[in-house]
Chains A and B, each alone.
Chain A
């Protein structure tokens, strides 16, 4: 049926599985023949065994449904308690390691979030196993916020992934399908736009009057069915996931009736029982159920499922809701939400909790559900909604006078407000939460209070809260609470300059991870990464993020992922890797939490300013947003960073900024705050370049040297830290003319054209006779233009790894590694990988 090229493409992927795994996505509208194509390609072929996972059009999909299907078909079914998504991915990969395997995920437009995470894990490593992952989905039903979107994004970047698009059939193909009927192919083509399902249905019932919709075409097949049989067809249509054969005794469907129904051609058998041959057919029949009847049909299915002892709360909730039974909807949706949260399917947990909360009018029940809902909304980074929901929970608890509930709500709200970058509100709610000392959430509220104090460098206050938290933790034998206090405590010590605190923070975070406290562990690494960059341990930060960022993906902690990506964005900026910095910044600013957005905004402003990109409103807009965020966050480090960026902009553009008037005060005040010596040093340097005397005290070493006029020592210090931009700026101030002029070339080499141009003015003003003109292009190797992935590759090449070692490390095929290495060499303008190793230090790759 005109699908030969697509069929061949799919079969080629299967045939080649032994050499190299791959992903094939099959996209097309409903009825385009996606399943038929996959069936044709996978049936009767000698190359690989096939395992299928189905996604169901339930209102809210069951978490990990398709993944569990596949694993059980491969004979490695996970227990209900196996929740680490990465572990499920590993299991799938190792199941396929020894035998060529094709995994088909059908109807991924209905997939759940946790399954997507597992598939992303698998897709990134697929080239190394003889596994073909085939994913079918309906094009046009995948919006920008759809669960499947991240996976499709990955596929677009993977070399080992391809997408097959199924278009409508041509008139010729339709003519073939209509053979033996009196129907006219052109008329049918005009009516169906070549949709294969629609055409096939018409061909099956070639009535004199053509049906005008898919629904009419399907229903034509039911016209000969009697009332009893039609009712059973409708009963089956209420169950999108199919009807388990074991339900038939309870539903009163006997064998002769089932045979008659199978005779309509609308049904087929699957591993799950009896299902509609096509979802469009099910929808047509379901849509024709008379109003008022649907609820009773759902009630019958629900009762049958209960009598059978069904343990799938997602399916039970679907039928309970549709039958209008609020009590059962509440019970099942609540259970389904717990399952979903445990599986890491936070979006689904949100849907089930919304359903459960809508099914009860009891204020206590509702408030408790809303509190859980707000946490799940926070986990998926839907912060404004999380806020609205916790406010509603608070109101309900207020109404019934539940003090414990109110404290829990205040505590939760403090967290959400903080991630929304609204410190004043967060502070006010954490204090309200802490006030009620007998609440079960008191320890958690104290820990939040400690965290907020630490974040604004109020270290003494953080430590005294920490002592209280530890006492509560030991009294309640709450190990996670104890670790949270110890982790924030170690972070506070590190901010304060304690030498051994870094090692302690690493140990504590590792301990939290080994005990399964994923979020606490991740928070430890998030804070350490930020402190490392702030205190310019740039290489340590790099090594840490290499390990901690994958952890946030594998354990599904998007909030920490955004934070750490924001930190890495700043790290790349300090390292002079502009493209990689912008890439990370963009990814955080695309819907990321406000608290994680400060540095991404600064990076998005500073990189174009330094490079002298064509002026647009973007830079100004990013700086404005960063400024407002810093005011709201109201933390010394945030305020100093934004003011420093404003000062740099003023210097680069030669323009003033009224907000800089208070900058000198900011620097002087910073003298009494612990842990801000790097940030205040940076601001002092820029104010100095603007001709203002900040009168800085207690700033970090390189800034101190530079302010004291020991610019060459300062430059050497920056070089040792791996901060090339700062090094060049220090060298620009060198008393040695040659060094100062060389700094211009260095800035140009790294692509900071605008900074170099401004430096030229400075050198001329200093009276230097021979300031070289701007170069046209730079021919010197520089990593400023490498993307994040290319940087990863470049760093491994610099370590001396071969392409196949590098492929192992990055979970890609050697072929893909070759490809990346060539791209890196081309961008660096180097001929061989040995050149990379030789120049690794100069390139800032080691």
Chain B
């Protein structure tokens, strides 16, 4: 499966209560269960008027299908090409050192 980053424009997103987030989660889980193809909701972040989600699926069209079935906006779907962080620099150093010895 591939990983996808999804941007959802959702005015007032940061004001959502835990209860409302739980409701959205229920709807999303039901949509995932109904797809009949492999699909994983990894995690989501609420930021300002947007929600960013990380999902795993075979293709972007299935990600959109999930959004339609859940009734969620789906402003942008992009496949994750790589993942990196602070550790990437040291890991990279270590790999290069390993390669030269």
In the complex where A246-B70, A246-B71 touch, is A255 in contact with B30 (Cβ < 8 A)? no
Enumerate chain A residues within 8 angstroms of B37, measured Cβ to Cβ: 254-256
In the complex where A249-B30, A249-B31 touch, is A256 in contact with B36 (Cβ < 8 A)? yes
Q: How far is the CA of A257 from the CA of B37 in the complex (A)?
A: 11
| Shortest distance between the CB of B32 and any CB in chain A (Å) | 9
A245 interfacial by beta-carbon distance below 8 Å:
yes
In the complex where A255-B62, A255-B65 touch, is A249 in contact with B36 (Cβ < 8 A)? no
Enumerate chain B residues within 8 angstroms of A257, measured Cβ to Cβ: 36
Report yes or no: B35 in contact with A254, Cβ–Cβ below 8 A. Answer: yes
Enumerate chain B residues within 8 angstroms of A246, measured Cβ to Cβ: 68-71
Q: How far is the CA of A257 from the CA of B30 in the complex (A)?
A: 17
A248 interfacial by beta-carbon distance below 8 Å:
yes
| Shortest distance between the CB of B3 and any CB in chain A (Å) | 18
B88 interfacial by beta-carbon distance below 8 Å:
no
Report yes or no: A249 in contact with B34, Cβ–Cβ below 8 A. Answer: yes
| Shortest distance between the CB of A188 and any CB in chain B (Å) | 36
Closest to B30 in A: A249
Closest to B33 in A: A249
Q: How far is the CA of A273 from the CA of B31 in the complex (A)?
A: 15
Closest to B36 in A: A254
| Shortest distance between the CB of B72 and any CB in chain A (Å) | 10
Enumerate chain B residues within 8 angstroms of A256, measured Cβ to Cβ: 36-37
Q: How far is the CA of A249 from the CA of B35 in the complex (A)?
A: 8
Interface string of B33-65 (1 = CB under 8 A from A): 111110000000000000000000000001001
Chain A residues touching B, majority SS: helix
Closest to B66 in A: A255
Enumerate chain A residues within 8 angstroms of B35, measured Cβ to Cβ: 254-255
Enumerate chain B residues within 8 angstroms of A253, measured Cβ to Cβ: 34
Q: How far is the CA of A255 from the CA of B34 in the complex (A)?
A: 8
Interface string of A256-298 (1 = CB under 8 A from B): 1110000000000000010000000000000000000000000
Closest to B72 in A: A246
Which residues 2-48 of B sit at the A interface, judged by CB distance below 8 A? 30-31, 33-37
Q: How far is the CA of A75 from the CA of B34 in the complex (A)?
A: 32
| Shortest distance between the CB of B96 and any CB in chain A (Å) | 44
Q: How far is the CA of A8 from the CA of B71 in the complex (A)?
A: 39
| Shortest distance between the CB of B34 and any CB in chain A (Å) | 3
Report yes or no: B70 in contact with A255, Cβ–Cβ below 8 A. Answer: no
Q: How far is the CA of A155 from the CA of B37 in the complex (A)?
A: 52
Interface string of A660-703 (1 = CB under 8 A from B): 00000000000000000000000000000000000000000000
Q: How far is the CA of A256 from the CA of B65 in the complex (A)?
A: 11
Q: How far is the CA of A246 from the CA of B28 in the complex (A)?
A: 11
Q: How far is the CA of A254 from the CA of B65 in the complex (A)?
A: 10
Q: How far is the CA of A817 from the CA of B72 in the complex (A)?
A: 50
Enumerate chain B residues within 8 angstroms of A273, measured Cβ to Cβ: 68
Q: How far is the CA of A253 from the CA of B31 in the complex (A)?
A: 11
Q: How far is the CA of A248 from the CA of B66 in the complex (A)?
A: 10
Q: How far is the CA of A257 from the CA of B70 in the complex (A)?
A: 18
| Shortest distance between the CB of A566 and any CB in chain B (Å) | 52
Enumerate chain A residues within 8 angstroms of B34, measured Cβ to Cβ: 248-249, 252-254
Enumerate chain A residues within 8 angstroms of B65, measured Cβ to Cβ: 245, 255, 258
| Shortest distance between the CB of A836 and any CB in chain B (Å) | 57
Report yes or no: B62 in contact with A245, Cβ–Cβ below 8 A. Answer: no
Q: How far is the CA of A255 from the CA of B36 in the complex (A)?
A: 6
Which residues 60-87 of B sit at the A interface, judged by CB distance below 8 A? 62, 65, 68-71
| Shortest distance between the CB of B59 and any CB in chain A (Å) | 10
Q: How far is the CA of A248 from the CA of B68 in the complex (A)?
A: 10
Q: How far is the CA of A256 from the CA of B33 in the complex (A)?
A: 13
Q: How far is the CA of A248 from the CA of B62 in the complex (A)?
A: 14
Enumerate chain A residues within 8 angstroms of B70, measured Cβ to Cβ: 246
Which residues 614-651 of A sit at the B interface, judged by CB distance below 8 A? none
Enumerate chain B residues within 8 angstroms of A254, measured Cβ to Cβ: 34-37
Q: How far is the CA of A255 from the CA of B37 in the complex (A)?
A: 7
Enumerate chain B residues within 8 angstroms of A255, measured Cβ to Cβ: 35-37, 62, 65
Q: How far is the CA of A252 from the CA of B36 in the complex (A)?
A: 9
Q: How far is the CA of A245 from the CA of B27 in the complex (A)?
A: 13
Q: How far is the CA of A255 from the CA of B71 in the complex (A)?
A: 16
| Shortest distance between the CB of B68 and any CB in chain A (Å) | 4
| Shortest distance between the CB of A805 and any CB in chain B (Å) | 44
Closest to A245 in B: B68
| Shortest distance between the CB of B29 and any CB in chain A (Å) | 10
Q: How far is the CA of A254 from the CA of B36 in the complex (A)?
A: 5
Enumerate chain A residues within 8 angstroms of B33, measured Cβ to Cβ: 249
Enumerate chain A residues within 8 angstroms of B36, measured Cβ to Cβ: 254-257
Q: How far is the CA of A253 from the CA of B35 in the complex (A)?
A: 8
Q: How far is the CA of A258 from the CA of B62 in the complex (A)?
A: 11
Which residues 238-253 of A sit at the B interface, judged by CB distance below 8 A? 245-246, 248-249, 252-253
Q: How far is the CA of A257 from the CA of B35 in the complex (A)?
A: 10
Closest to A252 in B: B34
Considering residues A245, A252, A253, A255, which has the most beta carbons from chain B within 10 angstroms of its beta carbon? A255
Closest to B71 in A: A246
Q: How far is the CA of A246 from the CA of B30 in the complex (A)?
A: 10
Q: How far is the CA of A252 from the CA of B31 in the complex (A)?
A: 11
Q: How far is the CA of A552 from the CA of B42 in the complex (A)?
A: 59
Q: How far is the CA of A255 from the CA of B33 in the complex (A)?
A: 11
Closest to A274 in B: B68
Enumerate chain B residues within 8 angstroms of A249, measured Cβ to Cβ: 30-31, 33-34, 69
| Shortest distance between the CB of A275 and any CB in chain B (Å) | 13
| Shortest distance between the CB of A310 and any CB in chain B (Å) | 12
Enumerate chain A residues within 8 angstroms of B71, measured Cβ to Cβ: 245-246
Closest to B34 in A: A249
Which residues 345-388 of A sit at the B interface, judged by CB distance below 8 A? none
Considering residues A248, A253, A258, A273, which has the most beta carbons from chain B within 10 angstroms of its beta carbon? A248
Enumerate chain B residues within 8 angstroms of A245, measured Cβ to Cβ: 65, 68-69, 71
| Shortest distance between the CB of A311 and any CB in chain B (Å) | 13
Q: How far is the CA of A316 from the CA of B7 in the complex (A)?
A: 33
Enumerate chain A residues within 8 angstroms of B30, measured Cβ to Cβ: 249
Enumerate chain A residues within 8 angstroms of B68, measured Cβ to Cβ: 245-246, 273
Q: How far is the CA of A248 from the CA of B67 in the complex (A)?
A: 12
Q: How far is the CA of A249 from the CA of B70 in the complex (A)?
A: 9
Closest to A308 in B: B71
Closest to A269 in B: B68
Q: How far is the CA of A530 from the CA of B61 in the complex (A)?
A: 66
| Shortest distance between the CB of B74 and any CB in chain A (Å) | 11
> Beyond the given A246-B71, A249-B34, A258-B65, could you list 6 further A-B residue pairs with CB under 8 A, ordered by the A residue number?
A245-B71, A248-B34, A249-B30, A254-B37, A256-B37, A257-B36
- 25 A-B pairs (CB sep. < 8 Å): A245-B65, A245-B68, A245-B69, A245-B71, A246-B68, A246-B69, A246-B70, A246-B71, A248-B34, A248-B69, A249-B30, A249-B31, A249-B34, A249-B69, A253-B34, A254-B34, A254-B35, A254-B36, A254-B37, A255-B36, A255-B62, A255-B65, A256-B36, A256-B37, A257-B36
Which residues in A have some Cβ–Cβ distance to B below 8 Å? 245-246, 248-249, 252-258, 273
Q: When A and B form their complex, which 4 residue pairs have the shortest distance between CB atoms, in order from nearest?
A: A254-B36, A249-B34, A245-B68, A246-B71
